[in-house]
Each structure stands twice: as structure tokens, then as C-alpha cells.
Structure 1
Amino acid sequence: MTPGQFREEGKKIIDWIADYYENIEKYPVLSQVKPGEILSSLPENPPLHGEPMSAMMKDLDEKIMPGITHWQSPHFYAYFPSNTSFPSILGDLVSSGLGVQGMIWATSPAATEVETRVLDWLAQAMGMPEKFMSGSTGGGVIQDTASTSALTAVIAARERATKFESNETGVRQKQVAYISTQTHSSLEKAIKMAGIGKANLRLIEVDDQFAMRPELLDAQIQKDKKAGLLPFFVCGALGTTSSNAIDPLRKIGEIAQRENCWFHIDGAMSGTAMLCPEFRHFMDGVELADSFVFNPHKWMFTNFDCDVFWVGNRNELINTFSILPEYLKNKATESGAVFDYRDWHVQLGRRFRSLKLWFVIRHYGIEGLQFHIRKHVELSEKFTQWIKESDDFELFVEPPLNLVCFRHKKGDDFNMKLMNTINEKGKIFFTHTKLNNQVVLRMSIGQTHTELQHVEEAWNIISDTARKLA
């Protein structure tokens, strides 16, 4: 394909994407295909000869699109938002076009330095402690997901606790990590992958708001110490996955600091809300954190994948992950004057992810981002009020931000039937969880193009369907 052909076909694909967004509400939000249906529509053998773009686009429309669940639909309320925006899409396109592999500063200085600057912008805009800025002891790095950041934090914590002996001799000490019963499953996976072992992961019970109880954390740490174990890692949640519960971060951080445990804060979705000063009380105690993670690819209009991971002491990351083979040696690295982000995480190769974030921040500005976050919270408050005014539904827990947990009063089976009936029709898509062993319905309101009329329509569908099923 020549540059001229690329220009011609690229314009068609931009038009296709724009048409998709203009017509996105015509699609069923949840894909209606059966397992294996897409697979069976695709040839078993690859083409021997090249095919025209027109044939690929025809198959995209006819074979691929039926198998798409439309995460960018304004009627998508499932799981968590994974929103994007046109500036982000364009930034990602430029990144793909440049084809940068930014593993070290020398392989593309702009990839490193744009990332450094953009993450400093965000730290400043979100009221993060000075230590998370690149000009201080720490700094930020873009990972793919919060799961990878969790693994990075656990491994760095393991090495700090063992004075970096584990990397040399293997994990020998009985180290213990602490999360709540509501913490995301990625932390359990990280503990397994880091060689700590699931048996050495303590799940701390939560209160009636599903937030970790710090007094139980403290008691468990003392019990483990008496048993000759080494506490090394504590995770607090700035918004749990099931209910968006906010852990008491200051109290947890004080315990972690006293016990020389690495304190990691997981703000995967709700971290974005810290752009708004009125929500920052939720992260009281953030200055006690050794690391903090949030996903712009959830609620900050930046397409997947883009995860921001800040640390208070970057040397602890570098000493954990740095390996310098001969083929990567260069003058810039040896000078010590640059960041080589491959030393800040597991992977060596790196995409130019910061470019789409740069596009988003410059397009919206901080005030524009704040506007949309506040709008989503206001929409969630309206939905919450409708629940409270209903005779048939009940609010399960007061929402701190943009996730509403509620249920119909007729019980678990009815709630599951209600949700599945609605999702199968395709107009809206929402999901459930279990809290206190009860089925709870979740409305996660955070898609880029969701407006009041969409949330009103969702509530009408839910309440009308409930009346018909009852």
C-alpha cells in the first residue's frame, strides 16, 4: 500500500468510524451472537493472495460488527466505563502511524519526555503529593492496565522488604500481603505471580459500606508478626469494583507506614474524579502511599489501554526491574540524565501511549474534563433519587460517585431475570454483583456520550420491565 493509497483508504475508515458513532444507538448494546458464530463465519485458512480493502470493510460490516458489544454506546452501563473520545482516537492513530518503540529514551526521546510531562500535568491537576512528580523522588509511568501496575507494585514491595535479595536468590521469607474482601482480583493474581502465594494473602473484612476495617487490618498484621511472618504490602481501594467503596486510606496508610509495608492505592476508575477538588476528600492520606494507580482508559476519555502508575520513590522500581544488556547500552542512559521507562515495569517494549493522553488533555483542558466528570456524577445522583422514590426498588449502598448499586425488592431470582430480560433486548446493558450474598444490580454511568435522556430511558426500561415481569 502506497502513501497515496493509504490516504485514500484512511479517509474512508475515518468516515466509517464517524458514521459508526452517529449511528451507535441503532445497535444492540450487548452483542446478540451465539458462541462460535463469528468464528464459523471466518475462513479456516488464511488468504494466499492479498485482498482489497473494500472486501475487508464488507466483512467488517457483515461478519465482525454483529459480534461487537458497544462499549462506547451511551446506553452502556455495565462493569465500568471504558470510554474514549475522538481526540484520543486521533492521538492513537498518530502513535500507530509513527510506529515508535519507546523502550528507552534513546529509541525516541519524545515518547519518554511527553510521558513525563503529561503525567506531571495530571499529578498537578489531581492534587497528588509532590513526591509523585518527576522533579522529586518519584514520578509516573504509563502501564497497560491496573493489573500490571498491581504486579509491579507487589514485586517492588517484595524487593524492598527483602533488601532486593529475592531477585537474587528467590523468595525465601514468608511475606504476607493485605487487601480487603472487596479488592479487585488483580491483586490476588499479582500475589500469585510474584511468588508470594495465595496462602500468604490476607483478606480483611469490610464495614457496612464495604470499606476495609483498619482495626482488623492492624490486628491481622500483629497476629502474623507473632507467627514469625513478614508483612510487606497493603492495598487500599479508592473505589472497589463491585460497589465503588472508598477505603479509609489515611488510617490504612498510617498502619502500613508504621509496619514498614508498601502502601498501594488502587483508584482504577474513581481516580479520575480526583481532577475535581470537591471529590479529593476521598483520597485523604494519599501522601502516605508508596504507589497510586488509575486508568484514564476507564473514565478520562482515553481509549484502552492507558494506565497511570505513580510511585513516591522511583529508585525502588529501577533497582527492582533494571537489567542492562549490552545491546541497550547508550550514552544517554549512562549519563543518568534521562528516564528509561523500561526500568519502571515488567515489559521492555513500549507503545507511545502518552500521545493520546496528550491529545485528550489539550483538547478538553482540565476544566473540560471536570465538566464531564461532574455531569456523570450528577446523572448518577438523579438515578439514585429515582431509586429512592420507587416503591419497587431499593438502594443497596449510597454511591460516592458514578456507580449506583440497587436491587428490586422481589429478591435475587427476580433481579437476575430482570437484568437478563433487559440485556437480551439490547437497548441498554448493565450488570450485577453480589454484596452480602445478595444479587445487586449495578449502573455504571460514565460513557463519553451519555446524557440525561439516556439515563431517563434506562430507568424507564428497568422500571417498566420490572412491572411486566412482576
Structure 2
Amino acid sequence: MGSLPLEALMPLDPETFAGESSTVVDFLADYYRNVNKYPVMANTEPGSIRKLLPEVAPEMGESMDRILDDVRRDILPGLTHWQSPSFFAYFPANASTAGFVGEMLSAGLNVVPFVWMASPVATELEQIVVDWMARLLGLPECFHFKGGGGGVLHGSTCEAVVCTLTAARDRALSKLGHAGILKLVVYASDQTHATFQKGASIVGIPPANFRILRTSADSGYGLTADTVQRAIEEDIARGLIPLYLCATVGTTGLGAIDRVRELGHVARRYGTWLHIDAAYAGSAAICPEFQGHLDGTELADSVSMNPHKWFLTNMDCCCLWVANPTTMTNALSTDPEYLKNVSPASKMTTDTIDYKDWQIALSRRFRAIKLWVVLRRYGAVGMRAHIRRHIRMAEWFERVVAADERFEVVVPRSFSLVCFRLRPRFMDDIAVEALNRELLAAVNASGRAFITHFVVDGKFVIRLAVGGAMTELRHVRGAWELVKEKADELLANCC
């Protein structure tokens, strides 16, 4: 305990490493045992941590025990606890023992595999695991390395979007010249994640050239081919060029599913890059009964999904596959002298790749070992059971909501996401919206669960996403009891 003299500091002493790492593991195990003791959503005032910590960094080092005591006292109470079994907000951010072990190996080995020579096996393991994932999801051969395509592990969908937009942009500008960027148009639905608007802006697409296409309840809020084709034809008539189309399988707000095959045919007709965003629901495609949602993927240029959402792989990890890697590497590659491989030419083959040319940054983490450990530890059978367990829980929640005449399921359940609202028959639409806002606030303020909302067709919708690694049916039942309890209180006060 107390301060450590500077001369005693050995940053990577193996014995210290073993002891302090064990202490952190014990700390985290205790945290998971007791995570239910904390309010799921943080209940702190802005700036609270600044009041607890000094204004300057410490001059002398401190013991790990003292640091962890401060984490327990000052940090944990101000967190929103994403690994709580009663966390039903946004989409899940899965953690698991295997994911943690993989993360420890990645952090502990701390290699930086930006070029093949920087860590050959790290590069090649990444190629293997993205091919494993492609096969599990049922992606066509064109996205496998042996089929001429290939994959890479990014940190997030945001990175994947910027990289594919850049590839699509440069492919178009190679024919048009750089001034042609003012003619390029990107298409997405009103359910598509805002990441695509941000990505389009980053790569220089004029904001006026981003088309947000309306969806409706008739198509389950999925984007239809007719809608896209009309928009493209109108743009072509204006002298614009359809650059990029996003199809989403499992949108963030409602879990809507775009019609991939239909959209793929439209994209092919006009030479438009088609990206399939399956960030959340892509995990479900390892189950044969859900692979039909990716029907038509062979018509796409790129596909992405996030194992860190629902695939028991700790943050961060996003799989991106491209059918023509050269298109992307041409847009992203650099070849300074100091990064050229120095191995004998006899060791280099056409299969050797440098992942620096598949991403935005130069440096990169050894994410492949994390996903590899998860796949090895749980196997396809275990992962399918994980996905199906959550879907069964969501099916139960949807049934009980539909059975209570005070509530309505706003859209049919999609995967493990249920969208619902309190809908008393005696209230008008304005009162219903206010009531549901109050209901959501009351549920979250209780600390017993955390859920979020969406707005569709002017309706304020409460969305409950089942997917926590420690979530059991009893926690979903508890969330429903909490929703009913708060609804009873609100209805009693307004009647």
C-alpha cells in the first residue's frame, strides 16, 4: 500500500504481472457476482467524477490494491452497467469468459499486425477466423479468401462504412475524375443507422446527395426495391450518379429487415455499390432458420456484422467482408519505405496481405485471437444455443405484452428485439406519447432495468432488446413486472 518509489517500477516484471493480473481478475469476478447491486443505468450528476479526482496526475506510483479500491468507490457507481442481466437498452455488448481471455491474450501479447511481417501468424489467423465466420453465416464463396474475396476485423461498423464508402467513391472517381464527387449519391432508408450519413460526410459526399428513403409498416419498415429504383431514376435524370446503397438486416430502431435480393438486383442494374449492414442481427445468421434474411448476399459488394454485439466477443470487433478486396485496398493503401516487408522474397506469396491497406488507421489490434478463442471455446453449437435462448426470451416478452390489453406490440418482434408501448384506449395520441415517455423514465429511474426508445410514424416506442450474456428468463420476467408496476402507478395518477 502507499506510494511506490520510481526506482522500484518495472513495467513488465513477470511476477508483478502475474500477481496484479490475478488481483484484477478477482476484482472483476466479484463485480459480476454483485452487478445487480448497482442501478443498471447510472444515476449521477454531470461532472461528478471531476469532484472526486485531483486536478493533476500523481507524482508517485500507487499500489494496484489502492487503485482498485478507488475504482470500486468512485468509478463503478457512475457507470451504466452494460453486463447487468437487466440491461435491455440499445443492442447488447456481449462479454464472456472466452471473450475476456481472448482480450487478455490480445492485450498481453500486444502485437501490432499492420503488415504481414509485423506478426505473420496474427495476419493469417485473422484471415482464417473471418473465413470461419463467413461460413457460419452462410455467406457466398465470393466473400471468402479462396473465392477471391476476403475479410478484415475492424473496431466498429463506423470504420467498415467509411472504408467501403471510400472504395466505392474511388472506384467511381477513377472514371469520372475528382470533380465528379459532386455527382455521387448515397442511398439509405429512414431506418438505417446514422453511421452511414456520418461516413458519407467523412468521404466527401455532399450532404444534399444523401438520400433517406421512406419506409412503411406495409413492408415491415424494410427498404423496398421500388422505392430505391424511383429515387435512382430521379437522380439519374438530374445528371447524378448512384454510388452506394445500404441494406440493413436488423435495423437499430425496430429490427427491420431490408429485402436484400431485391435491392441487390437494383444495385447491379445501376452499377451501385451494395453494402449489407448486419451489425446486430448478423449473429443470428449462424442459425439455419435465420440465414434466409441474407438471401441475395452474392449480389452485394460488402457485408458487415459485429461479434461484439451478440456473439460473446468483448468490445471491440467488427467483421467486414468484401467481394473485391483490390477495390478497397486501392483506395486505402500506402507504401512508405519504412513499412515495406523485409523478409526474403521467397517467403512472400500472393496470399500474403497487409491489413493496413484494409482499414483507416495504420496501427491495429490483434483482434483475431479474441474471436478465435470465442469460436474455439463455445463452438457453433454453443453459439447457436446462445442466440436461440435470447430469442425465446423475447418471444415470451412479446406474448405477455400482446396479452395485456393496455399495451400494444408496435411492430412484430424481430430477432430478440420487442418494440411496444402503453396504449390506453381513452387517451389521444399526444397523451399516449407523454405517457410512454413517463413510463420509460420511471422504469429507468428505478435502477432495476434499463431500456431505450425509438420514434416511428410519430409514435414513441419502447424497445426492449434481450441479449445480455448473464440474462435469464427471470430477468425478462422482472422487466415485465417492472413495466406493469410503473404503468399501474401512472394510470392511477391520470385517472
**TM-score, scaled to structure 1:** 0.97
Whole-Å separation in 1 of the counterparts to 2:89 and 2:413 = 16
Cα displacement (A) at 1:173? 4.6
Match of 2:5? none
Whole-Å separation in 2 of the counterparts to 1:86 and 1:418 = 35
Query: What are the residue-to-residue correspondences of 1:232-271 with 2, within 5 Å?
Result: 232-271=243-282
Any idea what the Cα deviations from partners look like across 1:255-280, whole Å, max 9, x if unmatched? 00110000000001000000000011
Match of 2:455? 434
Secondary structure of 1:73's aligned partner: coil
Match of 1:389? 403
Match of 1:361? 375
Any idea what the Cα deviations from partners look like across 1:62-82, whole Å, max 9, x if unmatched? 111111111011100001101
Match of 1:191? 200
Task: Give the alignment partner of residue 19 of structure 2, picking from 2, 8, 31.
Answer: 8
Secondary structure of 1:103's aligned partner: coil
| Cα contact 2:129–2:372 (8 A) shared by 1 | yes
Whole-Å separation in 1 of the counterparts to 2:34 and 2:333 = 48
What one-letter code is carried by the residue in structure 2 that aligns with 1:461?
Answer: L
Match of 1:44? 55
Task: Give the alignment partner of residue 456 of structure 1, picking from 455, 471, 477.
Answer: 477
Structure 2 residue 426 is matched with structure 1 residue 415: no
Any idea what the Cα deviations from partners look like across 1:63-108, whole Å, max 9, x if unmatched? 1111111101110000110111011111111111111111011000
Cα displacement (A) at 1:162? 2.1
| Cα contact 1:31–1:68 (8 A) shared by 2 | yes
Whole-Å separation in 2 of the counterparts to 1:325 and 1:387 = 60
| Cα contact 2:443–2:486 (8 A) shared by 1 | yes
Whole-Å separation in 2 of the counterparts to 1:398 and 1:327 = 55
What one-letter code is carried by the residue in structure 2 that aligns with 1:10?
Answer: S
What one-letter code is carried by the residue in structure 1 that aligns with 2:416?
Answer: N
What one-letter code is carried by the residue in structure 1 that aligns with 2:411?
Answer: V
Whole-Å separation in 2 of the counterparts to 1:419 and 1:164 = 52
| Cα contact 2:169–2:181 (8 A) shared by 1 | no
Match of 1:70? 81
Q: RMSD over aligned Cα, in angstroms? A: 1.3
Secondary structure of 2:405's aligned partner: coil
Match of 2:3? none
Whole-Å separation in 2 of the counterparts to 1:14 and 1:460 = 34
Cα displacement (A) at 1:207? 2.3
Task: Give the alignment partner of residue 202 of structure 1, picking from 204, 207, 211.
Answer: 211
| Cα contact 1:388–1:395 (8 A) shared by 2 | yes
What one-letter code is carried by the residue in structure 2 that aligns with 1:206?
Answer: T
Whole-Å separation in 1 of the counterparts to 2:438 and 2:490 = 9
Whole-Å separation in 2 of the counterparts to 1:172 and 1:85 = 44
Match of 2:428? none
Secondary structure of 2:360's aligned partner: coil
Aligned residue pairs, count: 468
| Cα contact 2:173–2:181 (8 A) shared by 1 | no
**TM-score, scaled to structure 2:** 0.93
Cα displacement (A) at 1:171? 5.4
Query: What are the residue-to-residue correspondences of 1:150-161 with 2, within 5 Å?
Result: 150-161=161-172
Match of 1:342? 356
| Cα contact 1:84–1:303 (8 A) shared by 2 | yes
| Cα contact 2:182–2:205 (8 A) shared by 1 | no
Same amino acid, percent of matched pairs: 40
Match of 1:300? 311
Any idea what the Cα deviations from partners look like across 1:39-61, whole Å, max 9, x if unmatched? 21111011111111122111111
Secondary structure of 2:450's aligned partner: coil
Task: Give the alignment partner of residue 181 of structure 1, picking from 187, 190, 195.
Answer: 190
Cα displacement (A) at 1:6? 1.7
| Cα contact 2:182–2:206 (8 A) shared by 1 | no
Whole-Å separation in 1 of the counterparts to 2:163 and 2:175 = 14
Any idea what the Cα deviations from partners look like across 1:186-241, whole Å, max 9, x if unmatched? 00001101101211011111121211132121011011111111111110011111
Range with bigger deviation, 172-181 or 299-308: 172-181
Match of 1:219? 230
Task: Give the alignment partner of residue 283 of structure 1, picking from 294, 298, 319.
Answer: 294
Gaps of 5+ in 1: none
Whole-Å separation in 2 of the counterparts to 1:267 and 1:339 = 25
What one-letter code is carried by the residue in structure 1 that aligns with 2:193?
Answer: H
Secondary structure of 2:279's aligned partner: coil
Task: Give the alignment partner of residue 447 of structure 1, picking from 446, 463, 468.
Answer: 468
Structure 2 residue 396 is matched with structure 1 residue 378: no
